[in-house]
Amino acid sequence: QVQLVESGGGLVQPGGSLRLSCAASGFTLDYYLIGWFRQAPGKEREGVSCISSSDGSTYYVDSVKGRFTISRDNAKNTVYLQMNSLKPDDTAVYYCAAVTIFRITTVQAMCVMSEDGMDYWGKGTLVTVSS
């Protein structure tokens, strides 16, 4: 079965940390760019961070720069999002997505593309930063 499964969400206090995981099943991530997107209540889904298939290129939306770190372990077929210094505004459902390297060439392009352009979406994991 082809799917992406997010995990690691939960409730955390402002200033705390969480690490989200996105595990692929039924296909390999070796030839895909992977991105983390989030949707907060009453807001549109936005690209948070995206990472290339192999060269280490990354993109971060301005609001998370210096606080979040995206990484991938192709051997484990998993992508991570380390989230530090969390703020209440980070509260959202976080989704991972994958798009083939033959459709998207830059991480910036992936993080701003429409939802319909992705090859695969996970079902999301909820991050709640209390205040």
pLDDT at position 82: 98
- Give the residue-averaged pLDDT of 64-83: 96
pLDDT tens per residue across span 17-45? 999 999 999 999 989 999 999 999 999 99
- Long-range interactions of 54-59: CB distance < 8 A, separation 24+: 54/30, 57/106, 57/107, 58/107, 59/107, 59/108, 59/110, 59/111
